[in-house]
A = this chain, B = another copy of it.
Amino acid sequence: MTAARRVTIVDVARHAGVSTTAVSKVMRNAYGASPQMQEKVRAAIDELGYRPSAAARGLRGKTYTIGVMLPELRNLFFAEILDGVTEHLQGTGYQMLMAAGSNNRATEEQVTDALIDRSMDGVILIAPVSSRRRLETIARTVPTVVVGRHGQSAHYDTVADDDFTGAGLVVAHLAGLGHRRIAHIEHHETDPVRLREMPNALRADGYRHAMRAHGLEDHIDIASTTYTQDGGHLGARQLLARPHRPTAIFAGADIVAMGVLDALTEAGLSAPADISVAGYDGTAFAAFGPISLTTVDQAGHQMGGNAARLLLDRIADRTRPTAQVKLSPTLVPRRTTAALTDRTASR
């Protein structure tokens, strides 16, 4: 192959028969570039296919690039957030670039450093697991919006779903169907900041609160595992082994519910005939016919739109007070939950 070299401003200047300063002026729409000069330079740019590098622009100030850190690539809910971001950025000249963390602090530090190194004008961190101190360090370096994690900071804006209320919607739905032994599978947490800020911890809190509000405090029963398919499988096995097993399981995330359904099948049970199962997240796969999982829609699209809006605001004015946007989730009842029958209650 021909090893083509990137076209530079020097090539454009040579081709147009002008100085590089003149090319630069035309590109910046600066004063002092005559119409003839502009025409010559633009023709050379077109003919050579010259694209000024964002690196060069970055050194002069802005890169028009927004970095988004995702904890993982398989959670389809994040696609909703990203769509919201992309839609808001449309026509603004900003490009979104994504980098994958991996739900662990060391990788997250590497990835956020990499975004900062690459001169992003701003970053959106989705469900970060870093310490609050680390998040504030990032936010002091580059305008930052944290999505899907609660808590108020003087340095970054936050956009989150009201997870506490969302968990209450699930409990109310199941209690309304006559269930009393409603168990929950949570993602295990011990860190006090995470217990206040992480969506999973707020869902567990919301579950406990709603159980008490429905007079079901004696039936509060939590299996503490992880927000993974395996975690759901393990949690469900623990719950099925109880002397009085639950008639409904509220899994803290849709992927957890997939593991619950596997455990039910292994035990010769099915949802909702034997046990009602609900998830949380409103993922795309939860809507597929054979799954048809009752879940909570987190309005991811709106979360993304709000995050992008706050970030552009913050890039324009780094001194404005921080904002906390909390969005309202909605229950999406599907086929994995049903009214308590004599059959389910008697087990």
Contact = CB atoms under 8 A, between A and B. Distances in A.
Interface size band for A = 35 or more
A114 B95 contact: yes
A335 to B, nearest CB: 10
A238 to B, nearest CB: 18
A109 B116 CA distance: 26
A284 B284 CA distance: 12
Contacts of A96: 99-100
A288 B258 contact: yes
Interface stretch (A71-79, A211-219, A242-250): A71-79
A73 B321 CA distance: 33
B51 A55 contact: no
- Number of copies of chain A assembled together: 2
B98 A51 contact: no
Nearest to A95: B114
A79 B74 contact: yes
8 contacts: A1-B322, A2-B140, A3-B319, A49-B137, A51-B117, A52-B117, A261-B289, A290-B290
Interface of A: 1-4, 6-7, 49, 51-56, 58-59, 63, 65, 67, 73-74, 76, 78-79, 82-83, 86, 95-100, 111, 113-114, 116-119, 137, 139-142, 154-155, 258, 261-262, 265, 284-285, 288-291, 318-319, 321-322
